[in-house]
Each structure stands twice: as C-alpha cells, then as structure tokens.
Amino acid sequence: MQRILITGSSSGFGFLAAQTLTKAGHVVFATMRDPAGRNSEAAARLTESSSQQDGRLHVLDLDVTSDASVEAAVEQANELEGGIDVLVNNAGFGGGGLTETFTPAQFSRMFEVNVFGVQRMNRAVLPAMRQRGSGLLIHISSTMGRIVIPFAGAYTATKFALEGLSETYRYELAPHGIESVIIQPGGFGTDFFGSMLQPEDAARVETYGEAAAMPQQLWSGMGEMIASGQAPDPQIVADAILEVISAEPGARPARMVVDPMTGGEGPKALNQTAAAVQEQLLSGFGMESLLHVAESSEV
C-alpha cells in the first residue's frame, strides 16, 4: 500500500487515476481546486466510488499555483495518513492557436500551472521523501513533450520544460532512493481539447490571412473525433500510472509512452536515443552512479 497524492483529480486522467489507485488498495489524496464548490460533483463521485474499495480516498483542496495551498494540502495529507510516498503531478491545461498570438501573460499562466506548479509540489514533498530514503514522483507530460505539432507552441513549451525538469530530478534524487518518472500520453477521450486556452491577440490573428483558420481546423477536428467516441479510453493512462507505482523500485522507466492512437513510435525512438546520449554524457563526467536509484539502505 502506497500513500499517493494526485493533482488535478477533478476530471480526466487524475479522476480516473484516483479511482483506479483506490481500487488497487492504495491510500489516495485526490486533490483539486474548490472541492466544496465548482468541483463538488467530482469530489462527491470520488468519495462515493471509494466507499466500496479496498483503499482509502481523501479529497483535498489544492491549487498548484499557490504556495500556501500546496503547503496546506501536504500538511493535511501528513496529518491524515502520516506522509506521502508517491506524488502524481497531473494538473495542467493546454492551448491551441498561432503561437505569436498568445500574450506573454497567457504563456505565464500556462507555465504557472504546468511547470511552476510541479516545482511547488515537488518541493513540498521531497524533504520527507529524502529523509525516508524512498519515494516516487510521476509527471504526466505528453507525447508533445518530445514532438512538435504546429499551433500548440505554448503548451509544447511547457511540456518540453516539464520533461527537462523531471529528468533532472531523476538524476539528482537517485542517490536518495527516489525515482522520477515521466508518462507521455498521446490523444485520449478527455475534455482536453474542449478546454484549451485560446489566443487573446485577435488583431494579430487577422494578420495571418488564410493561415489564421488552420489552428481551428486542426483542433476542432481533434475535438470532434474525441466527441464521437473514436479516441482511446483515458482509463489506459490511469492503468499506466498504476503500473509504474506497482513496479519494483529501480525497475521503473525514465519515460513511458502511452499512445494507442498512433503507436507513439516517434516519441519512443526519441526517448531511446536521448537515453543513450544521457548515459554516455553522465558516464563521461564520472556521474554514472546517478543513472541508478539507490536502495534505501544506501542513502
């Protein structure tokens, strides 16, 4: 049994992961913004579904953009169950449109959730994990953290940043018995496309002429496919999260592509190439020990 905190549990991958992990017998802290208000229905559904499961589920109020909120939620989790063994950084949102037409403020808003929120969460849980000499960070990235699709520049930038952050943590935390894993989902049947941030600089959009219509054509087409039920079931990602948690420490992959829609061959190939380059690089600097997580007794 692991004590697992999940961010962004009100919908999508986070909601399903909370249910899946509770069913598997784990203690789950399903966190979301405003569980007593706008997300009260999701909170109630999670609480109800967990009542017949082997594990335990606690719904906690958490906003990853707030230091105070993050610290309060982690403290509450510690009081309820004595600690956090696994952190699933799932909270995030996307944006679609011509990259130039997104304002710096919009970029900042997306980075605040998708990247800086992850750093807040990691900083909140890592001191206790390092003291115990064990722990697991799971970062929900995207295949777009490895490949580039036009008209999603802001989102892609956040996921590339998240990939670099997570991999750096993997090396730096290895001597402390802590693993950092990236899960890279492809397209799934969630509300991701329906809730995408749209560019605010409408005047600049118009200066692109006929090309201005291309982002809408791409993302509306993706949204229609999702709505038609043709997209893969997001439960597959929740199951992948459980698979990573269930794996033996030291055997967990640095990255896991989960993309039944396309097969994910491109991101997989890039991951393999990058892993070989990183191994050569770290070995060349005499840091090959950081490629392998230490056992708790070694910390």
* Catalytic site residue from 9, 50, 159, 166: 159
pLDDT, residue 23, reads 96
Instruction: Please state the three-class secondary structure of 75-118 as a single string.
Output: HHHHHHHCCCCEEEECCCCCECECHHHCCHHHHHHHHHHHHHHH
23 annotated active-site: no
Q: Cα–Cα–Cα angle for 142, 124, 21, nearest 5°?
A: 55
CATH number, residue 66: 3.40.50.720
Domain limits for position 213: 3-298
Q: How far apart are CA 108 and CA 145, in angstroms?
A: 18
Residues 44 and 71 sit within 8 Å (Cβ to Cβ): no
pLDDT, residue 221, reads 77
Q: What is the pTM of this model?
A: 0.94
pLDDT, residue 265, reads 96
pLDDT, residue 230, reads 79
Q: How far apart are CA 241 and CA 278, in angstroms?
A: 24
pLDDT, residue 194, reads 67
pLDDT, residue 220, reads 79
* Catalytic site residue from 141, 142, 166, 180: 141
159 annotated active-site: yes
pLDDT, residue 193, reads 66
pLDDT, residue 219, reads 77
**How many domains is the chain built from?**
1
Q: Collect the ranges in the chain with pLDDT lower than 70.
A: 193-194, 227, 296-299
pLDDT, residue 141, reads 98
pLDDT, residue 297, reads 43
CA-wise closest residue to 32 among 48, 21, 22, 17: 17
Fill in the DSSP letter of residue 197: B
208 annotated active-site: no
141 annotated active-site: yes
**pLDDT tens per residue across span 110-163:** 999 999 999 999 999 999 999 999 999 999 999 999 999 999 999 999 999 999
* Catalytic site residue from 23, 155, 166, 169: 155
Q: How far apart are CA 167 and CA 187, in angstroms?
A: 23
* Catalytic site residue from 9, 10, 134, 180: 10
